[in-house]
Chain A
């Protein structure tokens, strides 16, 4: 089953989609009435103006990109279009008629469908049951399954309606969401960061589906920060910055660099490669992280088991782990951070010391630093002030700095405050007020704080999961640079990421994790995206396992 998939991917990637005919038809349709016209739409949250008199329009049969950094106001705008938020000013014109969209149901009745970034499927229900749940009318289950199958065939969204959602890959889950959306027969489909969880091959397949939809005259609003995708897929782009429209352009005539500059408002600095670890010759270099035959049974019902993971991360190197979401990345992270202990102390060594039986603080004391993927509720507590969030990972490794009174464990708040201002200065964390709750920071700024509190310790091993997920371009560049500088200074870094561009930019060696197994590391300077993509899709290692397709 899996091999068939891979073959299909290979076939697709070998035949780039011909876009010439489509764009011609789209430009002809530039008629007098756009499908959707947004005029002067404004949304305020307290003092913050999330959308400031935003104007833009979408034509029938076009793929329109909405570009912008995190916090630029994209989600707010989309939520108003989909009826989850109510605008404070301005108007929405649909097919020439001014409308108000009080709730998502009204949006669906107008013909606006949305595919969310985070899927809302019930793992224990089948595909057909999940789809039926989202329908407003009572439709018998077999009808739903038939209809879903038909749509899947037409648009190349292969799915087994009987499969349990919990067994689906992320790409397949997205297909369920898209079919769910298509069943409502929308004329405008909103896609929020659709490729952030897909392999390059899966993304290619999605683009093909989108092209088919466009050829039928449906419009697509495509929200993304991946500029290459926008360039190849979209007919027009609206760029948001700080809640305002700063540019409207044809992305195909722009460069990725010029698009990024519009988004950020300044030239984005390319990450400087400050070091080059010698590849192949490992003699004489210290192993800062050693993982030997790490096995871990599944922790929960939908968790991936880890199988015989083996790797060495050397001092001065950035080691990347690529893979599609849900293939064991978070399980591996928790095994390495000590949130899950190993039976064998030698399964994980940090700086040569067996650490398999040590918890997170024991491993931190050996010089390791961790930054998990989830910021709220894992790396930070949203309802606690920043100083207490700094304490989260440092109360034990820097006990003498932050505690007094011996066993009483009294907190030294002034020392925490000094650390906070050090971190804020070093990483350029933008915040309101002296010591606000972590929940008030934007994703990028919080991530800078989370990594900054570790850099501040000068550890010799970094283990980070998705360090720039959902982070704006400026902050992402800063985070990558800081990690690479740390490696140059002699630390080792293990970067788990689903963003291939990021890994290729930063890493010396890249391994791929698929279904809890890790490939041999490849030299990042010579590896191609296709090679990595095939590994991510499970072409290697040779193995058959039951995944419903």
Chain B
């Protein structure tokens, strides 16, 4: 019987390191086309509505940037975590806690206005996300707890905490009992970049800055070297005199702070108040972004735009094709699978083995 074998390459393939994300996107489009066909829609039309149509209008590109901003910010932080072998799956929770902490000023002290409000909100957002991320970091460093589970479970705690806040103590007194806080005053709103053509806000600038700074740190400084060494081999890191425990805190705090910043930017720039649901799963989608960008902050900027497109396409297809908005989640899942699968090609090559006539002394089964 013909079978397919994976043969280990003697060296990493530089070609496939570059090609793998593109192949993954291609496979995703292919599977997406099949899915549309099975839903009874035209595959070409479906893919067009998903991936091309949102790019044809300027306001839509603004929306793309709004959606890409939190994805990039979170994924850049996650790249530090994942490179150092810390599996922070709870960025969604850090995003929410950042949004809550950053909203303290406009919600509880709406009387305080002025140019210092917004910077203070951003700093408090980062602090909130970082503090939430410190919990799994502490549990891992002190007790050896699995950070995947603890960080993930804290997402649900954060979601319920937000839900309780906006239905309870932080509910807008003049809001007709709707579960939401009061709208932020003008000084607490992140301004739009080009308000004439769309609502994209300055959060995107923060995302790009964060990507550049983290890229510099990872590729040019001793700290980045420390992150990579500890991620590749904790024992070699210890031999180099690096502390794996301190790295746990560093990685979680950096990624928590960036997720928290994304949270307050989303609330202050795109929503303008706190609601029970402020994220369509940015914290989880950012995991896909981080891997699609090959854990390289510059690659993450591109990957963030692609994943933002899948959100936007999902909304567009819901309207124009009448398919469920869950299709967007399917796309994201398929993309993550494809990315991880295609990464195999970097270390292995595929060989197709045909049956051999030689007498094999294997007994009959």
Which residues in A have some Cβ–Cβ distance to B below 8 Å?
45-46, 48, 94, 97-100, 102, 105-106, 109-110, 337-339, 359-362, 364, 370, 372, 374, 376-384, 388, 391-393, 395-396, 403, 405, 408-411, 437, 440
Contact = CB atoms under 8 A, between A and B. Distances in A.
Interface residues of B, number: 26
A393 B238 CA distance: 10
Contacts of A393: 239-240
B15 interface: no
B361 interface: yes
A100 B358 contact: yes
Nearest to B5: A86
Nearest to A380: B236
Given A377-B233, A377-B235, A383-B232, A45 B240 contact: no
B220 to A, nearest CB: 6
Given A99-B359, A106-B360, A395 B239 contact: no
Contacts of B326: none
B232 A381 contact: yes
Interface in B243-265: none
B222 A437 contact: no
Which label, helix, strand, loop or mixed, suits the secondary structure of the A interface? mixed
A370 B236 CA distance: 12
23 contacts: A94-B361, A98-B359, A100-B356, A106-B361, A109-B362, A110-B361, A339-B238, A339-B239, A360-B238, A360-B241, A361-B240, A361-B241, A376-B233, A377-B233, A378-B236, A378-B239, A382-B232, A383-B12, A388-B229, A405-B221, A410-B222, A411-B221, A411-B225
B239 A392 contact: yes
A396 B241 contact: yes
Interface string B44-60: 00000000000000000
Contact of B360 (A100, A364, A405): A100
Contacts of B228: 384
Given A409-B222, A411-B221, A384 B362 contact: no
A102 B233 CA distance: 34
Contacts of B236: 377-381, 392
B115 interface: no
B11 interface: yes
B10 A408 contact: no
Contacts of A405: 221
B362 A105 contact: yes
A437 B10 contact: no
B258 to A, nearest CB: 20
Nearest to A433: B11
Contacts of A377: 233, 235-236
A43 B359 CA distance: 20
Contacts of A409: 221-223
Contacts of A437: 11-12
B363 interface: yes
Interface centre among B238, B356, B358 (most CB of A within 10 A): B238
Given A106-B360, A395-B222, 12 more contacts: A45-B10, A46-B10, A99-B358, A105-B362, A360-B241, A361-B241, A362-B241, A364-B241, A381-B232, A392-B236, A408-B221, A411-B222
A98 B359 CA distance: 8
A94 to B, nearest CB: 8
A376 B222 CA distance: 21
Nearest to A403: B222
Contacts of B240: 360-361, 392-393, 395
Contacts of A98: 358-359
Contacts of A106: 360-362
B75 to A, nearest CB: 22
A360 B223 contact: no
Contact of A384 (B222, B232, B359): B232
Contacts of A102: 360, 362
Nearest to B9: A46
Contacts of B241: 338, 359-362, 364, 396
B152 to A, nearest CB: 28
Contacts of A339: 238-239
B222 A392 contact: no
Given A45-B10, A377-B235, A384 B229 contact: yes
B361 A109 contact: yes
Contacts of A100: 356, 358-360
7 tightest Cβ-Cβ pairs between the two chains A and B: A409-B222, A361-B241, A360-B241, A100-B358, A377-B233, A392-B240, A46-B10
A337 B232 contact: no
Considering residues B228, B229, B363, which has the most beta carbons from chain A within 10 angstroms of its beta carbon?
Answer: B229
Nearest to A392: B240
A100 B356 CA distance: 10
Contacts of A408: 221
Which one of B223, B233, B238 has the highest number of Cβ atoms from chain A below 10 Å of its Cβ? Answer: B233
Contacts of B221: 405, 408-411
Contacts of B239: 337, 339, 360, 370, 372, 378-379, 392-393
Contacts of B232: 381-384
A411 B219 CA distance: 9
Nearest to B228: A384
A99 B360 contact: yes
A7 to B, nearest CB: 40
Nearest to B360: A100
A338 B363 CA distance: 55
Nearest to A389: B236
A376 B229 CA distance: 12
Nearest to B356: A100
Interface in B1-28: 9-12
A381 B361 contact: no
Contacts of A395: 222, 225, 240
A77 to B, nearest CB: 18
Contact of A410 (B10, B11, B220, B235): B220
Nearest to B362: A106
A378 B225 contact: no
A337 B10 CA distance: 33
Interface string B343-365: 00000000000001011111100
Contacts of A109: 361-363
B235 to A, nearest CB: 5
A410 B218 CA distance: 10
A359 B242 CA distance: 9
A361 to B, nearest CB: 4
A161 B11 CA distance: 43
B360 A381 contact: no
Interface in B99-131: none
A364 B233 CA distance: 20
A110 B223 CA distance: 55
Interface string B319-337: 0000000000000000000
B225 A388 contact: yes
Contacts of A45: 10
Nearest to A339: B238
Nearest to A376: B233
B225 to A, nearest CB: 7
Nearest to A110: B361
Contacts of A97: 359, 361
Contacts of A338: 241
A378 B232 CA distance: 11
Interface in B48-98: none
A392 B229 CA distance: 8
Contacts of B225: 388, 391, 395, 411
A378 B362 contact: no
Contacts of A403: 222
A298 to B, nearest CB: 17
Nearest to A94: B361
A392 to B, nearest CB: 5
